[in-house]
Chain A
């Protein structure tokens, strides 16, 4: 189990040239239960990496505390490092070592062998085993990701911390990656994973939506969706590009954004589809489809972050 209590970290970021961090207004507090996949979802700059680095004992918090299976990430960092597997956002294996050498190296560092824990990584490692003599630096993106995951797992960690493992990965490979995580979860590993892709929320047991160093909602994906309070409609017309602005010009329309081949709009309470349909007909649209829909996690994120 992971327990995070009132965690704060404020630091000067060389990258952005200003203060950044997490928990500035309210310290971050949350729990992750055994066997759970917990997703931290938010755009670049939300603070996901800072949080994960603290939990991986690589960064000291200013205040607050975090424990994993009862072990404090600051006081007992050496023990923490034995029970976690950490996959940073940037590929951090040894580029000059081969696939197999990297894996053997990480196994040795943790006083184990590839053979001892082969079962755990078999599914993933078998896909890159044909290339085991290739230098890690010469692997494609998808293969690097599989090797990094194998290396993070080779010492059979209790907790897996994955920082944006699917960024820049195509939709098919992303789905495969989440299928792999599902099988690891079934082995009882706690998985803490961050992503900027809102559609991956449904693959998590619980999620935290994060922006500007704060959690703005924490719940099951369904719980987040159930808490959505707006009236949400999907609208289609024969000209999607002009109807975006026309919809925004309607005074009862509160927000309007493109969602694939439809526009998602939120409207004033009491406004009816017939009224909107009439408004669009007056603007010259002939082919209008309006339906009430239930929100996606992306709709929820946008509703929670609107200024």
Chain B
């Protein structure tokens, strides 16, 4: 196994009764890569992510995330990843600094580390004046930027982003992606889902799930060539049309 594979899974499967939500998926994600994880609603993305994050046990298959075994070392996985979704990111009724303090503590940083990194984070985001603001009072785009910074506060090997930009205004959405690039440049691997097909173009590689399987996996330019498409939207449509799963 190559050392710079941050995710390496083979035959990963999850069944609920007779329903196979995730059907023998195998793939690798390299260190510092921005990996887009696409699929239609109900294709099995969320179930797959839950297995990768160590919160759902696979029915079959094996693999490692951040160097730890997904079957036996799921607690270690949780400590070495970051996670953010549109639905859950920060505590709305805590202040900005309190959220940072809380997540820093959960991820096992000591007080000195948290204090130093908090200043650095607030300065980088130009958030110094918002230190004492309640998170719920921040505009959505700011919240998402803060949530992303908190999700990588403990410099995890990999961060999982589940539809991080849904509903965010166009300029903010792009600023968010510039933060993703910066994190990737620092060596943090980014695993991201999105329904915006222009964002699929910003990924180094993209996988597309259809009915629990990974039906395509390559760089956006290779996928466009393979499916004779002008953009990722067309690639997605061609693949998703093959779905036979009655939701």
Contact = CB atoms under 8 A, between A and B. Distances in A.
B171 A306 contact: yes
Contacts of B140: 43-45
Nearest to B40: A170
A179 to B, nearest CB: 13
B137 A17 contact: yes
B237 A196 contact: no
A241 B181 contact: yes
A30 interface: no
Interface string B106-140: 00000000000000000000000000001011011
Interface string B173-199: 010011001000000000000011110
Nearest to B173: A43
B221 interface: yes
Given A16-B137, A260-B232, A173 B41 contact: yes
Nearest to B93: A17
Interface residues of B, number: 40
Interface string A236-277: 000001001000000000000111110000000000000000
A48 to B, nearest CB: 10
Contact of B240 (A139, A167, A170, A298): A170
A196 B40 contact: no
A130 B247 CA distance: 11
B170 A298 contact: yes
A71 B147 CA distance: 45
Contacts of B247: 139-140, 142-143
How many interface residues does chain A have, given as a range? 35 or more
A230 B247 CA distance: 44
B169 A211 contact: yes
Contacts of B236: 170-172
Contacts of A143: 247
Contacts of B39: 170
Nearest to B139: A45
A111 interface: no
Interface stretch (B5-13, B76-84, B151-159, B160-168): B160-168
Given A142-B41, A170-B236, A175-B237, 5 more contacts: A44-B169, A139-B247, A172-B241, A261-B201, A301-B170
10 contacts: A16-B136, A43-B140, A45-B139, A130-B246, A171-B237, A172-B237, A173-B41, A175-B237, A259-B198, A260-B198
Which 10 pairs across A and B sit closest by C-beta, in order of nearness? A43-B169, A44-B167, A260-B198, A140-B247, A260-B201, A170-B40, A172-B240, A261-B201, A196-B167, A44-B140
